[in-house]
Each structure stands twice: as structure tokens, then as C-alpha cells.
Amino acid sequence: MAYVITAPEQAVVAVAGSGDHFPVGRIYCVGRNYAEHAREMGHDPDREPPFFFQKHAGALLAAAEPAGGDFPYPSMTSDVHHEIELVVAMKLGGTDIKAADALGHVWGYAVGIDMTRRDVQGEAKKLGRPWDGGKSFDNAAPVSLLHPASEVGHPAAGAIWLDVNGTRRQEGDLNQLIWSVPEIIEHLSALFGLQAGDLIMTGTPAGVAAVGPGDELTGGVEGLAGIMVRVV
């Protein structure tokens, strides 16, 4: 096929322990999926239907070394927050996927950080406008090495954490997810036709806070390779 301009480079995540790469299509994110984070953001954590937003594939900041890489501090903000998350990588697509069948559509798991221009997001909320400027900007989705589910299983419990300059900021357990991974896939696939290559960021525990140039973020999910991001 001939293109009239140079085709954009395929966004990929490296697979742990191999030279293989996972091609990334869309990046979906689940909002307020831990009760304590919902409370710290001023919301009731009862099981209201989950809601979703997207980051464009160009927002991916894939691990440039075994742990992570540099996150350039973005423009038009003075309040950038970290949100550590379990990331789900889809190997099969579909619509109206039932929770009981959902894990059969998952290729593997990684650790991600939903970087957020909180001031930009907050202003958009006040004006009733979309969040894209706060959530879907360049490098806003750092993601660690990806582990196949055939090796690590499907984690439904286990520690999740994030430290900034060696000080613990976020800490929780995957069993605290309001909506589990199978339930997330069921709800998400009712709204969108999921595709192989989609990533799903599953929500963050409490403790989100601002970072600035010079800060070093290290985080992880039990059983997966950790992530390290330097704010530059």
C-alpha cells in the first residue's frame, strides 16, 4: 500500500524476558476504581457504573530500559499528578464480552502510571468540557515491561504501590478494585468494540499527588516488573 505521507511509527510495549513487542492500539482508562481514591477526589465510592476515558497511542511512554525512562514535564500546567495502575493488554477483541469469558481475551499485564495535568483537568471539569488536555497528552502513559498471562496468571490480588524519591505515596491491593478486570472488560466492551492491541489502565489507589522536574517515581504491582520514571 502506498501512503501520501510517512506512516506513523507503531506504538509498542516490550515483553519482559524476550525481544518481542506488543503492538498498542487504543489506551482505555477506568476512572475512580479504588474507594479511597474516589473519596480523596471528593466522590462517593459506591459501585456506580464504571466510567472510562482514553489516552491516544502517542501518549504511551514505553520502558526504554528494563524499568522505565524519562518523563518530560508537560507544558500548560503547574500541577502534574501520578496515578499508579495495573495495565491489561488485550489479545482478542469483541463487543459485549461477558465477565465470565473476559480473561480469555487478555494477553498479559504491566504496570502503568496515568500522568495527569490536574489543573487542566480540573478547569475542564468546572466548564463541563472533555478531559483530554488533562489526561491525553504526549508521554502521559508510562508503561513497564509486559508480562504474558501464560506466565503470571491473572492477578486479582497483590500489592500495588508508588514511591516518589524513595517516599511511599500510593499503596493498595488489587483486591480493592471496585470493578475487577473481568467486570471492566464487560462494561468497556458494551461501549466500544475492543480490539487486539488495546491497553486498559484499571484505576489507581489513594495518594495521588504532584511531582516536578528532578523527581524519581518508582512503582510496581506484585508479581510484575516494576516501573521507574524520572521527571525531566
Boundaries of every domain in the chain: 12-231
**Cα(229)–Cα(40) distance, rounded to whole angstroms?**
24
pLDDT at 120: 98
Fold of 12-231: Fumarylacetoacetate hydrolase; domain 2 (3.90.850)
pLDDT at 229: 95
Reported pTM: 0.94
Among 60-64, 136-140, 200-204, which is the least confidently predicted range?
A: 60-64
The number of beta carbons lying within 10 Å of the beta carbon of residue 69 is: 16
159-175: per-residue pLDDT in tens? 999 999 999 999 999 99
Predicted confidence (pLDDT) at residue 157 exceeds the cutoff of 70? yes
Under the banding of pLDDT at 50, 70 and 90, the label for residue 41 is: low
**Cα(97)–Cα(99) distance, rounded to whole angstroms?**
7
**Cα(143)–Cα(160) distance, rounded to whole angstroms?**
14
pLDDT at 87: 98
122-147: per-residue pLDDT in tens? 999 999 999 999 999 999 999 999 99
**Cα(26)–Cα(33) distance, rounded to whole angstroms?**
20
**63 CB burial (10 A radius; 0-12, 13-18, 19+):** buried
Asked if 82 and 170 touch (Cβ cutoff 8 Å), the reply is yes
Question: Residues 6 or more apart from 136 whose CB is under 8 A from it?
Answer: 53, 54, 55, 56, 59
Average pLDDT, the chain: 93
